[in-house]
Structure 1
Amino acid sequence: MTSMTLTTTLLQASDLAISGDGVTIAPISFTLEAGQRLTLLGETGSGKSLIAQAIMGTLPAGLSAQGALEIAGKRFAAAEPATRHSLWGRTLALLPQEPWHALDPTMRAQAQVAETHRFVAGKTAPAANEAASAELSRLGLAQALNKLPGELSGGMAQRVAFAAASAAGAPIVIADEPTKGLDAPRRDEVVELLAHTPNRGGALLTITHDIEVARRLGGEVIILRQGQVVERGPANVLLNHPETAYAQRLLGAEPSRWPDPPSFTGSAQAPVISADALRIERGGRELFRDLSVSVRPGEIVGVVGPSGCGKSTLGDILLGVTRPNAGRVDISREMPRLGRQKLYQDPPAAFSPHWSLTQLLEDLQRRHRFEQRAIAPLMQRLGLNEPLLSRRPGEISGGELQRFAILRVLLLKPRFLFADEPTSRLDPVTQQQTLSLLVELAREQACAVMLVSHDPALVEKVCDQTLTLAG
């Protein structure tokens, strides 16, 4: 007698389309059976995150969805988002692109994860606390159980959000850029955790611009561009032998394939900023000691190291926000009052959520008196469309908001820029274009740049020298 394994459709989208407010996502259809994985891959702003929001029923105001959805055996009209809210946590779990939007800033890490275990999964308080502690420890956060989100690095906050969203064991997991801001070992750990969902009979829909994540997850891949499906197929076939010119260009833009950077010619100039013998402690732990570094006009210095090793803290010291326990920082006498600027790893932390981008830029212009005419050409160079200006920060993709952050800081013409993972939300094509522009403008404006990245290949192809923090 032979046995048969019956497949179960967990998620099916039929002619799912999105429109409104200058957005058009062409109808897309796909099916996820129990045990299957699907990855949406494409440039920033191609519609990947909007598809996830349409499934969850959380599209921004002004956008609407059409088509039909089948979720765990129940049919829903995509145009009726409220009908799916009861599925959150129990049937549908969303791992959001921005951990700051998912975490309570007043609640400590263990408590946030335990809350899901207790009130969604139905565990007792002691069992919920124990499960939360074990989950966070598996994610390398054993030392962060009692920390608030504001005390965590971007990568650490993202892992807490991952643990909280997946705690109730929902069979369908939608992961929106789940590995941005993570170094390679942590990225691989999150990919392994994501893989447990289909392995235990669930289904996984992943949105990412990280080609290596798509490779490791396997399953099926759909490549999107400007709201259109460009190519789809098994990951092991499509990612190794793409057929369309666009897919070939996207996959060819991985940092390891970039050309070598032009040589830096300003090594004889006096540093814009320098530090000597820095030592810093945080939470009773020494992050680094005897650290010395200098950056000259137009020079790009890469900063690499594992999550939590002190990269962002180094930036705070150089920017004058944090005082080191030992050592000194010297700044050029020609440094203007606003000459030191920062590009944040998580742009939502740097934008007011209540105002449109037009209003935020107008406020910046009134305060700092830069030329209004400088905005449009810089937007064009950054690949930002004018219709986006009418939206609030939370109504555009993470990659688009990241580029607006770059736009805003470059309008101030800084002399020293600490760029903390400035392209972590960008696809390979947009990342290469944006970093090329950042380097070009740094050379033009004699701006010293420290560039934090978890990607050694990116640092090698962009930076003039590299500073490695051991952690």
Structure 2
Amino acid sequence: MNALTVENLSIRHQDQILLEPVSFTVGAGQCIVVLGESGSGKSLLAQAILGLLPHGLAADGSVILKDQRFDAGDTALRRQRWGRELGLLPQEPWRALNPTMRIGDQVAEVHALVRGRPWAEARSTARAALADMGLADEYRSLPHRLSGGMAQRATLAAARAGGASILIADEPTKGLDIALRSRVVDDLKSVMVAGGTLFVITHDVQVARDLGGEVIVMRGGQLMERGPGDTLLTAPASAYTRELLAADPASWPTAAAPPAHGDMILAATDLAKTYDGKQLFAGLDLSLSRGDRVAFVGASGSGKSTLGDILIGVRKPDRGSVRRGGGLSALAFQKLHQDPGAAFAPSLSLARALNDAVRLHGRKWQDVRQWMRRLGLSESLLPRKPAALSSGELQRFALLRILLVRPALIFADEPTSRLDPINQRRALELLAEVAAEENIALLLVTHDPDVARAIAPLRLHLPLTAQ
């Protein structure tokens, strides 16, 4: 039986076509995976199916849920199916979870309000569902206490609590390490085993391989090709799909041997740190010179970001010391954050943010223009606020602002984990290139050993093993 059918679904903004007509069918116990880079129309397609398109956008075509046909532009009737027949697993689990409400209560609330179960039964069912997800001890936890993988599993439990047979998962493994990614994929497979239907958006080729089913490849609002995943991902027909597969970090070449060391900028001796009763590292010695490229690799919670923060002076170690070389000030040690949106004031335009940096650090606006050209940024983006830019554009603006300070070291903390493979490769190659040109040391945190291998000649794995 077909669970979800889309017929000639297109999206427009006034006279501009944002998504050309797309059609597909997926049955119960099956999945369809949509691959593509940022801006390809993947999320717009999911929003149109749900009836969640942003204001000003219009959808044409049809959405068929089991045997009931809906006009794609008529959202009211489809919204009545939310939770009951259509479930959503969003990109950012923390944004889907109420930060002031305990995890168990959030799942129980869906059982009570959507399915109409008595509260005692709803809480008992929620407790069992969280236990099935490996979260038995987190029933009373608030969202900020959960790791990324745990938050994603809690959100999945809430999304399934209403009994929805069709689950739309938008980038469900974004920013997760390999182990957590595998766990989330297993959780999604369990939906199919139970007879549910999956519509999954991802830029992770390995996730598409692991889930199986049919694959759709999109680019710039167009469907480039589609077919069974085991065929399409092995022998793609379109040049774009081949480019997308080649951009997978596993296909990147290994970083060249390190150049001769420049001036020493940092020396750490006998560092130790314990967090929440867990020893992250101890007896760690490390020195960095201008031009060095070092990657910290490991699973979530292994201490990668904590170590980087200690080295740049944001945190203090429990034991040991960090000495800066050459009379460098604290401003010479800059951090490129995982979420670039958190690095900018949401109410200020990019022009205002960069003007402030120019004024504070004695630079000229011409410096901004030169770096914008170098980083491939259009001046038409300057009047916009951060939320109006893509993650890739905003991350390049974050790098530009750091470069205005003339840093000696850039600590890049998972700077591209939220980007698709093509933009991830472009961004990391650009970061390494700029660091080499400006003789800046680069300290990269990543959960992906393939990314580390391609960018950094020296790699430190946590728990500690040097390679």
Aligned residue for 2:50?
Answer: 56
Q: 2:70 aligned with 1:76, yes or no?
A: yes
Residue aligned with 1:338, SS = helix
Cα distance in 2 for residues equivalent to 1:116 and 1:404: 40
Give CA deviations for 1:401-451 in whole Å, capped at 9, x if unaligned: 444444444454433222221111222222111111010111122222221
Question: Shift of residue 237 of structure 1?
Answer: 0.5
Contact map agreement 1:304 1:311 (CA 8 A) in 2: yes
Work out the CA distance in 1 between the residues paired with 2:443 and 2:14: 39
Alignment match, 1:237: 231
1:97-176 alignment runs, 5 A limit = 97-136=91-130, 139=133, 141=135, 145-176=139-170
Residues 234, 450 of structure 1: alpha-carbon distance in 2 compared, 3 angstrom cutoff = same
Aligned to 1:184: 178
In the superposition, relative to structure 1, how do residues 300 and 198 fare at CA in structure 2: closer, same or farther (>3 Å)? same
Separation in 2, partners of 1:62, 1:166: 30
Aligned equivalents of 1:458, 1:351: Cα separation in 2: 26
Q: Which amino acid aligns with 1:464?
A: P
Question: Taking structure 1 as reference, are residues 214 and 273 closer, same or farther at Cα in structure 2, changes over 3 Å only?
Answer: same
CA distance in 1, matches of 2:284, 2:63: 55
For residues 210-248 of structure 1, the C-alpha deviation after alignment (integer angstroms, 9 at most, x for no partner) is 101001111111111111111111101000001111111
Distance 1:335 1:148, change over 3 A: farther
Give yes or no for contact 2:313–2:330 (8 Å, CA) kept in 1. Answer: no
Percent identity between matched residues is: 48
What letter matches 2:3 in structure 1?
Answer: T
Q: Which letter maps to 2:162? A: A
Residue 282, structure 1, aligned to residue 257, structure 2 = no
1:88 pairs with 82, 102, 108, which one?
A: 82
3-state secondary structure, aligned to 1:87: coil
**Any stretches of 5+ residues in structure 1 without a counterpart?**
1-6
Number of the residue aligned with 2:191: 197
- C-alpha distance in 2 between matches for 1:231 and 1:345: 32
2:301 is equivalent to residue 300 of structure 1: no
How far apart are the structure 1 equivalents of 2:180 and 2:32?
A: 21
Match of residue 264, structure 1, among 258, 274, 277: 258
Q: Residues 198 and 204 of structure 1 are in contact (CA less than 8 Å); yes or no, is this contact kept in structure 2?
A: yes
Cα displacement string for residues 2-22 of structure 1 (whole angstroms, at most 9, x for unaligned residues): xxxxx1333424332243698
Other structure's SS at 2:255 match: coil
2:331 maps to 338
Q: Which amino acid aligns with 1:66?
A: D
Q: Report the Cα offset of residue 311 of structure 1.
A: 2.0
**Aligned counterpart in structure 1 of residue 27 of structure 2, from 28, 33, 39:** 33
| Higher deviation after alignment, 59-68 or 417-426 | 59-68
Matched, 1:445 2:433: no
TM-score between both structures, scaled by the size of structure 2: 0.87
Query: Contact 1:298/1:448 (CA < 8 Å) preserved in 2?
Result: yes
Determine if the alignment matches structure 1 residue 431 to structure 2 residue 429. no
TM-aligned CA distance change 1:211 to 1:411, over 3 Å: farther
**Which digits, 9 at most, give the CA deviation of each residue in 1:140-180, with x for residues without a partner?**
55665554444444444444333333333311111111111
The code of the aligned residue for 1:300 comes to: R
Secondary structure in structure 1 of the residue aligned to 2:444: strand
Where does 1:347-362 land on structure 2 (aligned, <5 Å)? 347-358=340-351, 360-362=353-355
Partner-residue secondary structure (3-state), 1:213: helix
TM-score under structure 1 normalisation? 0.86
Distance 1:353 1:309, change over 3 A: same
Do the aligned partners of residues 187 and 339 (structure 1) sit closer, same or farther apart at CA in structure 2, a change above 3 Å counting? same
Question: Could you list the per-position Cα deviations for residues 305-347 of structure 1 after superposition, in whole angstroms to 9, with x for gaps in the alignment?
Answer: 1122222222332343332322222233543443332222233
Equivalent-residue separation in structure 2 for 1:371 and 1:261 (angstroms): 34
One of 13, 29, 33 as aligned partner of 1:19: 13
Which residue of 211, 220, 242 corresponds with 1:226? 220
Give distance in 2, aligned partners of 1:95 and 1:156: 13
Q: Which runs of 5+ in 2 are unaligned?
A: none
SS at match of 1:104: coil
Asked whether the equivalents of residues 149 and 184 of structure 2 are also in contact (C-alpha less than 8 Å), the reply is no
Going from structure 1 to structure 2, the CA distance change for 1:445 and 1:281 (only over 3 Å counts) comes to same
SS in 1 for 2:321: strand
8 Å Cα contact 1:218/1:236 also seen in 2: yes
Matches of 1:136 and 1:254 in 2, distance apart?
A: 33
Distance 1:62 1:356 in 2: 22
Indicate whether 1:66 and 2:66 are aligned: no
Q: Does 2:329 align with 1:315?
A: no
CA contact (8 A) 1:19 1:25 kept: no
Equivalent pair of 2:9/2:72 in contact (CA under 8 Å): no
Q: How many residues align?
A: 464
Partner Cα distance (2:219, 2:298) in 1? 33
Q: Could you say what secondary structure the match of 1:308 adopts? A: coil
Distance 1:51 1:228, change over 3 A: same
| 1:440 alignment partner, SS class | helix
Change in 2 beyond 3 A, CA 1:462/1:87: same
Q: 1: distance between equivalents of 2:309 and 2:274?
A: 13
> What is the identity, as a one-letter code, of the residue corresponding to 1:326?
R
Query: Are the structure 2 counterparts of residues 443 and 310 from structure 1 closer, same or farther at C-alpha, using a change threshold of 3 Å?
Result: same
Q: Indicate whether 1:456 and 2:454 are aligned.
A: no
Mean alpha-carbon deviation: is it higher for 167-176 or for 411-420? 411-420
- Contact 1:108-1:145 within 8 A present in 2 as well: yes
2:44 alignment partner, SS class = helix
Against the structure 1 CA distance between its residues 228 and 149, is the aligned structure 2 distance closer, same or farther, given a 3 Å change threshold? Answer: same
What is the aligned partner in structure 2 of residue 415 from structure 1?
A: 408
Larger deviation: 202-211 or 408-417? 408-417
Separation in structure 1 between the aligned mates of residue 378 and residue 80 of structure 2, nearest angstrom? 36
Distance 2:4 2:309 in 1: 46
| 8 A Cα contact 2:149 2:181, kept in partner | no
